[in-house]
Amino acid sequence: MLSANRGWCLFLGCYFVRSRLRPRWPSRRGPCSTYHLTHVDTREPFPSPDGKRVIFESNVAGYHQLFTMHPDGSDVLQITHDAWNHDTPSWSPDGRKFAFVSDQNKHSAVYVMNVDGSRAGTPVVAPRNAESIHPSWSPDNRQVIYCADDDLKPPKKNDASIYSVDVQSKVVKTLISGGVNTYPSWSPDGKQIAFRR
């Protein structure tokens, strides 16, 4: 996950890479430094739009909870404190909300909450007989795209579709179906999406 214009990135396990040639992106030709930020079961780091904080998930007493911290690993704050799993968080472009999935209702559904952890009790996508994952915000903060039913029984692959949901109206639209379609992400102008097939 790249931080816009701040010269660093995050990757699985919460490592931090900073280029000494800021704001150039580190390459094989340019020197860079790598720091291991966390030493427990942590995943899915996602930087805030201004690059000043990172949201990630970490295992606490058997449940994945959401935390934020500074990019150097300091000032860690726990955002969720309950007996459910919270996965694949995504920071809204305006920096005011998180989208994430949670299994509060037996099936993983997309939730949205404020960055202080408030207003997290109602899913924007009602849980059905599907498992939602990988939410991603539209550039205008109005929609979240996500996929459903990715890797239900690994290593076997199954069909996974991509949907969008309007955060206010909660209207869901099917964008891509048929085959394995995962990890959706909006283009900066909001006119296209990228995804893995």
pLDDT band at 44 (very low <50, low <70, confident <90, very high): confident
Residue 108 lies in a domain: yes
Of the chain, the percentage scoring pLDDT greater than 70 comes to: 76
pLDDT given for residue 134 in this prediction: 92
Number of folded domains that form the chain: 1
What's the half-sphere exposure (Cβ side, CA atoms, 13 Å) at 29? 1
Q: What is the CATH number of the domain that holds 175?
A: 2.120.10.30
Residue 155 lies in a domain: yes
**Residue pLDDT, tens place only, 128-181:** 678 888 999 999 999 999 998 877 777 877 788 999 999 999 999 999 998 888
Q: Are strands 54-60 and 63-69 parallel, antiparallel or unpaired?
A: antiparallel
Residue 185 lies in a domain: yes
**Residue pLDDT, tens place only, 83-106:** 999 999 999 999 999 999 999 888
Residue 116 lies in a domain: yes
The helix (H) or strand (E) run that includes residue 27 is: none
Helix (H, G, I), strand (E, B) or coil at 178: coil
Burial class (CB in 10 A: 0-12, 13-18, 19+), 183: middle
Residue 149 lies in a domain: yes
Mean pLDDT value across residues 53-69: 93
Range of the domain at 168: 84-196
pLDDT given for residue 32 in this prediction: 52
Task: Give the long-range contacts of residues 108-116, CB within 8 A, separation 24 or more.
Answer: 108/132, 108/133, 110/135, 110/144, 110/146, 110/165, 111/86, 112/144, 112/167, 113/79, 115/68, 115/79, 115/91, 116/79
Residue 59 lies in a domain: no
Nearest of 78, 176, 88, 86 to residue 137 by alpha carbon: 88
Residue 139 lies in a domain: yes
Tokens encoding 170: 């909660």
Residue 65 lies in a domain: no
pLDDT given for residue 15 in this prediction: 46
Is the pLDDT at 9 greater than 60, yes or no? no
